[in-house]
Chain A
Amino acid sequence: MAEAAKMRRERIDRGIKARSDTIFALSSYRDMLYLILPRFLPIALLLCLPLFLGSSYWGKVVFYACIFALLALSWDFMASVGLISLGQALFFGVGSYVSGGFNFYYKWPIFLTIPLATFGGALICTLLLVPVLRLRGVYFSMVTLILPLLFDHLIETLEILGGTHGLLSLSPFPNHWMAVYIALIAVVGILFGFRKLITEDFGLVLRGIREDDRVVMAGGINIYWYKAQAIFIASAVGCFAGALMTHYYQFVGRSAFALDNTILPLTGAVLGGPGSFAGSVIGTFILVPLSEALRALGGLRMALYGIILIGALAILPEGIFHYMERKYHQFERDVRI
């Protein structure tokens, strides 16, 4: 004990990052590669993945992973405004049912229903959450936890929108490639879009609301308007994911509001590292293939997510991404004190 107490771990930023957050003084190819590789390599890998896997079973898993990555990104965006959602299934379900409903009852083509579900669904979700915008923290989470379950009950008891049977034989995507690439490009685009947005002035206000909303209010900013905008953006992403999934399955049912659709993205985001967006994608791309590999476990998979969630919170609360980022950007050494 006495021996260990004399050593201290020292962390020093690498030179390139230290100069500025946005302006880099690059002097060599090494410096450029140091900055570009961690951004370029994952994108290239992601976009090539379907080419290797084709439309096999694991090719489909890439699609599922993209869908849950979108939901996790949406969760992370709300979390960076301080709105912790426990109901991603709400966005997913509303998006699914809007696109499925228009396709089933009016026979609209999928290139009309998906955008409609994205923006119309986002509008519905935002209007649903506007009355509770004044709530913070745990109270907001409670309401978001309740809403999807109530929708589930509503559809079951009122027998609307196909009731317990769901809406069957919706129009599919023309082929597997199109679905996978739409999803992949959406994930990459939204990932970098969010990372950019959160550093802009708009994002600064959002992060301000998370840190201390009363200070932002004192600055003369209407935080409820900003929160509503953030929810609209996050729910548009969630609804888009739901709409894609609906047309991929060619089916929408009450399972869209199931707790799975909340817990998996939440676990992914917490495991990967909340607040970074990249962490959400990493987390879900670890979790979804894992859960597909463990399909034999059936219902126990939900319990597994719970265990992973507890483990991630207790052991690595900063998340995989922040951990990797720290290791990449900093030297570490033990110094004697």
Chain B
Amino acid sequence: MEILIYGITNSVTLALMAIGFSLTFGISGVPNFAHGAFYILGGILTWIFINQLGIPFLFSAILSIIVVGLLGFILYWGLMLRLRGLAINEVIATLAAAIVIIEVLRYLGFSGFTYVLPEFIKGSVPIGKIWLDYQRIFLVGIGIALIVFLYLFTHRTKVGLSFRAIAQNERTAISLGIDSDWTAALSLAFGSALAVVAGLAILPLGSIDTQMGYDILIYALAVGIVGGLESVPGIVIASIILGFGQIIVATFFKAQWQTIVTLAAIVIILAVKPSGIFGKYKELEERV
């Protein structure tokens, strides 16, 4: 029972961390290594809006989602546009952007117990013998809602379909009238905004630590690699595998072994099925 509940919350947390990254990289082919940095930046911006400017939580949350989304858009339009097509340079440039953001935040001292975001509703509820706080329940709800939303968005709406189109074949997409630069910029903005949504849901459970910016990126990469970057079901399955794996290992062995699960999962998946559990398109072209 314990394993079930903690496993579910942990899995949803992982899925939330990965979802924005997967959207930008897996679905429209733009690697956003600044994902973790945006996650932290969103949390800190919200904290500033609430505690220094006195804006109510809901508005601060929306405001920081918009601000970071715009930043993502600017990152694409100002920088990535010059490097488009050179996948490696895109990775290096976004990673550099992530380092700039995280290290500046660290320098300004935004880290530690002062920087705590409010929970949506305080308190907790008993499930069996375990007291589960409302925030975690919200977390699971938000996670499931976002995954369903993402699936519908990328399969039913025009913008979502164009996101997938430029990843599959950019030239064909252009010939069908999709402005690929605009779409890619939009996708980066969207992914960054999702990073902030994830941050707002997860961060109230602890305090904000800038170092987490790098860890989030790693979890997002791990989920993406295991699940297959371009598929929404892949994210779900990979989060469940990794989430439950971590909790089971932590319960039966030692909490320290959790990180090993991530590594082991990545290595096994890459050795057995390099395109990830649900990866299809890029199996031959990009990975192997």
Residue ranges of A at the interface with B (Cβ–Cβ < 8 Å)? 84, 86, 131-132, 134-139, 141-143, 145-146, 149-150, 153-154, 157-158, 259, 263, 266, 270, 298-300, 302-303, 305-307, 309-310, 313-314, 317
Q: Verify A145–B221 contact, CB threshold 8 A.
A: yes
Take A134-B288, A259-B214 as given contacts and tell me if A142 and B107 are in contact as well, using a CB distance cutoff of 8 Å. Answer: no
User: When the two chains form the complex, which single residue of A138, A150, A158 contacts B31, counting CB atoms closer than 8 Å?
Assistant: A138
CB nearest neighbor in B for A213: B288
Q: B274: which A residues are within 8 A, CB to CB?
A: 134-135, 139
- B256 and A137 within 8 A (CB): no
**Is A314 within 8 A of B266, CB to CB?**
no
With contacts A135-B274, A146-B218, A303-B107 taken as known, whether A309 is within 8 angstroms of B288 at the C-beta atoms is no
Contacts of A141 in B (CB 8 A): 88, 91
Cα–Cα distance between A298 and B106 once the two chains are bound (Å)? 11
What is the distance, in angstroms, from B93's C-beta to the closest C-beta of chain A?
Answer: 5
Please give me the residue from chain A that is nearest to B263 by CB atom.
Answer: A150
User: How far, in angstroms, from A294 to B70 measured CA to CA in the complex?
Assistant: 32
B148 at interface (Cβ–Cβ under 8 A)?
Answer: no
Which of B92, B267, B286 is close to A266, meaning CB atoms less than 8 Å apart? B92
Is B222 part of the binding interface, using a Cβ–Cβ cutoff of 8 Å? yes
B14 at the interface (CB under 8 A from A): no
Contact A138 B87 (CB under 8 A): yes
- The answer to whether B93 and A313 touch across the interface, beta carbons within 8 angstroms, is yes
Known: A135-B270, A138-B91. A300 touches B103 (CB 8 A): yes
Q: Whole-angstrom distance between the alpha carbons of A86 and B95 in the complex?
A: 9
Expressed in whole angstroms, the Cα–Cα distance for A114 and B270 within the complex equals: 33
Interface pair B103/A303, CB less than 8 Å apart = yes
Partner of A310, one of B87, B96, B104, B266: B96
Select one of B82, B218, B222, B257 contacting A314, CB under 8 A: B82
Decide: B99 and A137 in contact? CB cutoff 8 A.
no
Asked if B127 is an interface residue, CB under 8 A from chain A, the answer is no
CA distance A148 to B255 in the complex (A): 20
The CA-CA distance from A154 to B264 in the complex, in Å, is: 13
Quote the shortest CB–CB distance from B286 to chain A (angstroms). 6
CA distance A58 to B92 in the complex (A): 30
Q: Which of B69-99 contact A (CB under 8 A)?
A: 79, 82-83, 87-89, 91-93, 95-99
Contact present for A149 and B83 (CB under 8 Å): no
Q: How far is the CA of A313 from the CA of B86 in the complex (A)?
A: 11
Inter-chain CA distance A143–B221, complex, in Å, is: 9
Known: A138-B31, A142-B221. Is A303-B287 also a contact (CB below 8 A)?
no
Are A136 and B96 in contact, with the CB atoms below 8 A? no
Can you list 9 A-B contacts (CB < 8 A)?
A: A131-B271, A134-B288, A135-B274, A136-B288, A137-B87, A146-B218, A158-B256, A303-B104, A309-B92
Contact of A313 among B83, B103, B256, B259 (CB under 8 A): B83
Q: Is B187 an interface residue (CB 8 A)?
A: no
**CB of B260 within 8 Å of the partner chain:** yes
Give the chain B neighbours of A313 by CB distance below 8 A.
82-83, 89, 92-93, 96
In the complex, whether B41 has a CB less than 8 A from a CB of chain A is: no
In the bound complex, do residue A157 and residue B259 qualify as a contact, i.e. CB atoms below 8 Å apart? yes
Interface residues of B in 1-54 (CB under 8 A from A): 31
- B3 CB, nearest partner CB in chain A, Å: 21
B137 at interface (Cβ–Cβ under 8 A)? Answer: no
5 A-B pairs with the lowest CB-CB distances in the bound complex, closest first: A157-B256, A306-B100, A303-B103, A306-B99, A309-B96
- Contact among A146, A302, A310 with B93 in the assembled complex (CB-CB below 8 Å): A310
Whether B202 sits at the interface, judged by CB under 8 Å, is no
Query: Is B104 a contact of A146 with CB atoms below 8 Å?
Result: no
Pair B270/A150 contact, Cβ less than 8 Å:
no
- The residues of B that contact A150 with a CB separation of less than 8 Å are 259, 262-263
- Given contact pairs A138-B286, A157-B259, a sample of 4 additional A-B residue pairs in the complex whose CB atoms are under 8 Å apart: A86-B91, A134-B287, A137-B88, A149-B214
Interface centre among A131, A136, A141, A310 (most CB of B within 10 A): A310
Given A84-B88, A153-B259: A298 in contact with B266 (beta carbons within 8 A): no
A137 to B79, CA, bound (A): 20
**Which among A142, A270, A298, A307 is the interface contact of B92 at CB below 8 angstroms?**
A270
The answer to whether A310 touches B100 (Cβ under 8 A) is yes
B214-A310 in contact (CB<8A): no
Is B225 part of the binding interface, using a Cβ–Cβ cutoff of 8 Å?
Answer: yes
Least CB separation from B257: chain A residue = A157
Contact check, A137 vs B288: say whether CB atoms are below 8 A apart. no
* Bound form: Cα–Cα A306–B222 in Å: 24
What is the chain A residue whose CB lies nearest that of B275?
Answer: A139
A149 contacts across to B, CB distance below 8 A: 214, 218
Nearest to A302 among chain B residues (CB) is B103
State in angstroms the CA–CA spacing of A148 and B74 once bound together. 31
CB distance from A287 to the nearest CB of B (A): 14
Residue of A nearest to B260 (CB): A154
A57 and B88 CA atoms in complex are apart in Å by 37
Chain B contacts for A132, CB-based, 8 A? 267, 270
Whether A137 lies near B107 (C-beta < 8 A) is: no
* Chain A residues whose C-beta falls within 8 Å of the C-beta of B260 in the assembled complex: 154
- Nearest-neighbour CB distance to chain A for B30, whole angstroms, equals 11
* Cα(A313)–Cα(B87), bound, Å: 12
